Amino acid sequence: MIDLNICFSCNNNCVMCPIVRLGYSKTQCEIKEGPSTEDIKQMINSLDENVSEISVTGGGEPTIRSDIFDIMSCLEKRFPKAKKRLLTNARMFCYADFSKKMTDLGLKSVAVPLHAGEEELFEKITQAKGSFIQTIEGIQNLLRLGVEVEIRVVVHNLNYEALPRIAKFISLNMPSVSNVVFLYFNIVGSAALNKKQLIVRYSEVVPFLEKACSVLKENELDFILYHFPKCVLSEKFRGYAEGVTTERKRLFFKEECNQCKYFSDCSGIWRSYKKFVGAEELNPL
C-alpha cells in the first residue's frame, strides 16, 4: 500500500490532532498550503504502476481541496484496478452529489474518525460546530453507495468513558461498517499542547474499552486495537491488539519486555506516553 499525502489543512480542529494547527478559527484550521495539483499529479505518475492499494491522506482533510475530483480522476486513470482509500472526516460526504461523484471517480474505501456518538462531546473534540451531523450523514451516504467504511476511534481522556456508548451508537446507526479501530492517541502536536485535558492511563481506559469491544462482539462487528500493549488488556482481548503500526523508534518497550512472550507482536507504548505518564503499567507476560 502507498500513502499519498495531499493536504495539510482541515475543516476540523481536533484537540488530539498529532499536528499543531496554527491560525485556526473555531470552525476551520489551516497550517500551510499542501502540494499543488501539478505536484500531486507528478507524484501519482511516479508511483509504481503495480500498486494494489493507495491511501489518500495528508496531515489534514483531503476532501476540502478544490481540486479533489481532478486528483481522484488522475488516480483512477493511472490505477484503474487499485483500491483507492481516503482518510477523511467524512464531512464533505454529507453532500450526496459530492459522494456520488467521488464514487464515480473510483473511491472504494474510507477510514473515518468517530470521536463520540453524541453531538456535544464530538464537537468538544473536533472544535468545529456542525461537524457531528455532517460526519454521521457523510458515513451513511458512503455506506449507501457501497463504500467500505472503517471507523477509527482515537481514545483519550475526553472520550474513554464514552467508548461503550460509541460502540452502541455504531451498532445501531451504522451496522454495515467494515470494522472499528480503537487507537490510543499519540501525545504529540496539538495533543501535546492539550495534554492536561487528554492524558488518561491505560489502566483507567481498559475497562471501558473492553466493554465497548464486548458490545461490538455481541453485534457481530469486527474491531482491532492499535497502540494498546497486550499486558494492559485482559487475556480475552489481547488477540485484538494488532502489534506495531508505526516505526519502532516512535514506540517504547521496557527492558524486561525482551522476556515477554508477546514482545515480537506488541505495540509497546508511544514514546510520548512514557515521557508524560511513565511505563509502570507494563508487566511482561
Q: Is 284 in the site for ligand SF4 (CB under 6 A)?
A: yes
Give residue for cell 464537537: 123
Distance CA 228, CA 206 (A): 9
Query: For residues 231 and 284, is the Cβ–Cβ distance under 8 A?
Result: yes
Q: How far is the CB of 233 from ligand SF4 (least distance, A)?
A: 9
Q: How far is the CB of 256 from ligand SF4 (least distance, A)?
A: 7
Q: Is 233 in the site for ligand SF4 (CB under 6 A)?
A: no
Q: How far is the CB of 284 from ligand SF4 (least distance, A)?
A: 4
Residues 165-204 interacting with ligand SF4 (rule: CB under 6 A): none
Which run of H or E residues covers position 164?
Answer: helix 163-173
* Nearest residue (CB) to ligand SF4, 98 versus 276: 276
Q: How far is the CB of 248 from ligand SF4 (least distance, A)?
A: 12
DSSP state of 254: -
* Nearest residue (CB) to ligand SF4, 56 versus 232: 232
* Nearest residue (CB) to ligand SF4, 34 versus 268: 268
Stretch that binds ligand SF4, among 37-45, 90-98, 210-218, 253-261 (CB under 6 A): 253-261
Task: Return the residue of 10, 128, 155, 231 that touches ligand SF4, per CB under 6 A.
Answer: 231
Radius of gyration in angstroms for the set of CA atoms belonging to the chain, rounded to a whole number: 19
Query: For residues 204 and 193, is the Cβ–Cβ distance under 8 A?
Result: no
Q: Measure CA of the first residue to CA of the last residue in the chain; give whole Å.
A: 33
Strand order in the sheet with 83-87: 2-7, 53-58, 83-87, 107-113, 148-155, 179-184, 223-226
DSSP string, 15-72: TT-SS---S--SS-B--S----HHHHHHHHHHS-TT--EEEEEESS-GGGSTTHHHHH
Task: Return the residue of 69, 95, 98, 263 that touches ligand SF4, per CB under 6 A.
Answer: 263
Q: Is 262 in the site for ligand SF4 (CB under 6 A)?
A: yes
* Nearest residue (CB) to ligand SF4, 138 versus 229: 229
Task: Return the residue of 230, 237, 251, 273 that touches ligand SF4, per CB under 6 A.
Answer: 230
Distance CA 34, CA 238 (A): 39
Task: Return the residue of 7, 221, 229, 251 that touches ligand SF4, per CB under 6 A.
Answer: 229
Q: Which residues bind ligand SF4 (CB under 6 A)?
A: 229-231, 253-254, 257, 260, 262-263, 266, 268, 282-285
